[in-house]
Amino acid sequence: MQHVIGYDLARGLHIIAVIAWVAGLLMLPRFYAYITTAQPGGELEQTMLKAARNLRAIILTPSLILAWAFGIFLFATYLVADWAAFPGVLGTVPHWFWGKLILVLGLSGYHGFLSAEGRKLAAGQRPRSERYWRLMSEVPFLVAIAVVLLATLEP
Ligand code: HEM
């Protein structure tokens, strides 16, 4: 059968999607910090609300989907290498991978949380402080460090 896309190309595209996703997750809470302190109805508030909406629609949602799609493709490639051994082959998946998966599910949940908070901000609610959003903007970086080291060191 002709291969549509090779394993290493999929790995590269996975990493590119992950870079865009994490970059977006680092930026969005910073936009929320500006929105929180901006004068209601003012120019800064409107500009930042639009920037946050565009960031979610153009960068965050597509890169989330692509990071998952290529990640699942890579994992499926690992499983189907010995399809006859399924589902026993799941027992051979290294533990670090399950750790990575839990962290990535957490990152996806954080993404969903940011989307819900974005809708509140757009509706004029300001339930959280600027300091809260500045602190939250560091979270994805810490998780990304752990995920990348799990994937590369394979402890
Ligand atoms: C969205 C769900 C994800 C799934 C299902 C997934 C799954 C995978 C799989 C199966 C591989 C191939 C492993 C190999 O060939 O050694 C891989 C590679 C990789 N992933 Fe993910 N991944 C996901 C998200 C992420 C995230 C969020 C990051 C970083 C923050 C990340 C970083 C990496 C890196 C750096 C590699 C290359 C590792 C290497 O080749 O040594 N992945 N991923």
Q: What is the pLDDT of residues 73-107, one digit of tens each?
A: 999 988 887 777 777 888 889 999 999 999 999 99
Ligand 1 centre and the CA of 151: distance in Å? 6
pLDDT at 36 over 80: yes
Q: What pLDDT does residue 78 have?
A: 86
Site to probe by mutation for ligand 1, drawn from 14, 63, 139 as the one with most ligand atoms within 8 Å of Cβ, is 14
Lining residues, ligand 1, CB within 6 Å = 11, 14-15, 18, 22, 67-68, 71-72, 74-75, 104, 107, 144, 147-148, 151-152
Task: Look over the chain and give the mean of its residue pLDDT values, rounded to a whole number.
Answer: 94
Q: Is the pLDDT of residue 1 over 60?
A: no
One DSSP character per residue, the chain reads ---SS-HHHHHHHHHHHHHHHHHHHHHHHHHHHHHHHSPTTSHHHHHHHHHHHHIIIIIIHHHHHHHHHHHHHHHHHHHHTTGGGTTGGGGGS-HHHHHHHHHHHHHHHHHHHHHHHHHHHHTT---S-HHHHHHHTTHHHHHHHHHHHHHHH--
Confidence of residue 71 (pLDDT cuts 50, 70, 90): very high
The residue type at 127: P
Section 58-85 average pLDDT:
92
* CA-proximal residue: ligand 1, atom 3 (nearest): 71
CA of 68 to the centre of ligand 1 (A): 9
Say yes or no to pLDDT of 2 above 80: no
pLDDT given at position 143:
97
Q: How many CA atoms lie within 13 A of 47 on its CB side?
A: 6
* Predicted pLDDT at 6: 87
The predicted pLDDT at position 5 comes to 80
Q: Cα(126)–Cα(130) distance, rounded to whole angstroms? A: 10
Q: Residue 150 — pLDDT band, cuts 50, 70, 90?
A: very high
Cα 135 to Cα 149: distance, rounded to the nearest angstrom: 22
Residue ranges per structural domain of the chain: 7-153
Most informative mutation of 72, 104, 105 for ligand 1 (most atoms within 8 A of CB):
104
Contacting residues for 13 by C-beta, under 8 A, at least 6 apart: 5, 66, 70
What is the model's pTM? 0.92
Over residues 106-125, mean pLDDT: 97
Q: How far apart are CA 52 and CA 131, in angstroms?
A: 18
Residue 57 has pLDDT above 70, yes or no: yes
